[in-house]
A and B are shown apart, each in its own frame.
Chain A
Amino acid sequence: MNKQILIIPCSGIGKAFGTISRDATFRVVEDLRRGEPDTICLSLLVMGDEEAKGKVQSCKCIAVDGCPLECARKNIELSGGAPAASFRVVDLLREYRDLRPQRVTFLDEDGRKLSAILAEKIASKVDELGKEGLAQ
């Protein structure tokens, strides 16, 4: 049986990076690969919720972090999970230097572009992880 895929963004609130991580995750879960991967509340996971921990331990997790502090990836590991993949918005910014997202609450045009690019990358990883599951 294929393992479920969980995409977990950091949703950091201080900078646009966290909003991009969150927005890209929802793009994948609600649109690009609707019905396949799911997401969970990172804060619920870190507060030790047993159901959330069980999900993280039994699913293939993709961490989506805004900044180099990598709160999503670290908290997946602390909860007993092993991230199958991880993305960082700061890395994407190095690739797309012309894009400079500024707004946090509601993404500006550059933020939306980055979110769309990141969502495509996550969706490709979802496909890849799904195929791995079939090959096992």
Chain B
Amino acid sequence: MSPGTIVGVVSCSGECCALGTVSRVATRLVLEDLRRSNTTTICLPLFLAGGEGERMFAKAYPTISVDGCGKECAKRAIEKYSNRTASSIVVEDLLENWGLAEPTSRRELDEDGLEAAKRVAEEIAATIDSILLRGRRVERA
């Protein structure tokens, strides 16, 4: 496994609002379906609690933070304890750009919430492709 072949996606999974649920579901959709062969995730609470393996991974491999709101806990955590994120996504901003309302239920996304999560997942997947492409160009150079 070399840094040019895998990307870590770190979701905030915030419990305060449904945006955290969207961040979580979108991240899992990428892992399980859209980019399953070249993506992994890190358990943010474990990372924050001092998980050495998680912190080492985020130091050595490119990561994408996926935060629900503008507090950007996932991004700040990675940059505080490991390295700069290769890219960061804020679900709240994406939904605003797309003119979508914040889902109402934190526990289970409704149809609109699930559609939003799928769109966020597509955005994450496109970001992964761009990071991997960049990595391959650097390797070739």
**Residues on A facing B (Cβ under 8 Å):** 8-14, 18, 22-23, 25-27, 30, 39-44, 46-47, 49, 69, 71-72, 74-75, 78, 104-105
State the CA gap A23–B80 with chains docked (Å). Answer: 29
**Residues on B facing A (Cβ under 8 Å):** 11-16, 20, 24-25, 27-29, 32, 41, 43-46, 48-49, 51, 71, 73-74, 76-77, 80, 105-107
Which of B16, B25, B41 has the most C-beta atoms of chain A within 10 angstroms of its own C-beta?
B16
In the complex, number of A-B residue pairs with CB atoms less than 8 Å apart: 91
Asked if A44 and B28 sit within 8 Å, CB to CB, the answer is no
Q: Residue B77 contacts which of A9, A30, A43, A72 (CB distance < 8 angstroms)?
A: A43
Q: 10 tightest A-B contacts by CB?
A: A71-B45, A26-B107, A105-B28, A43-B73, A46-B48, A41-B14, A11-B13, A41-B16, A12-B43, A71-B49
Q: Residue A43 contacts which of B14, B28, B106, B107 (CB distance < 8 angstroms)?
A: B14
Closest to B48 in A: A46
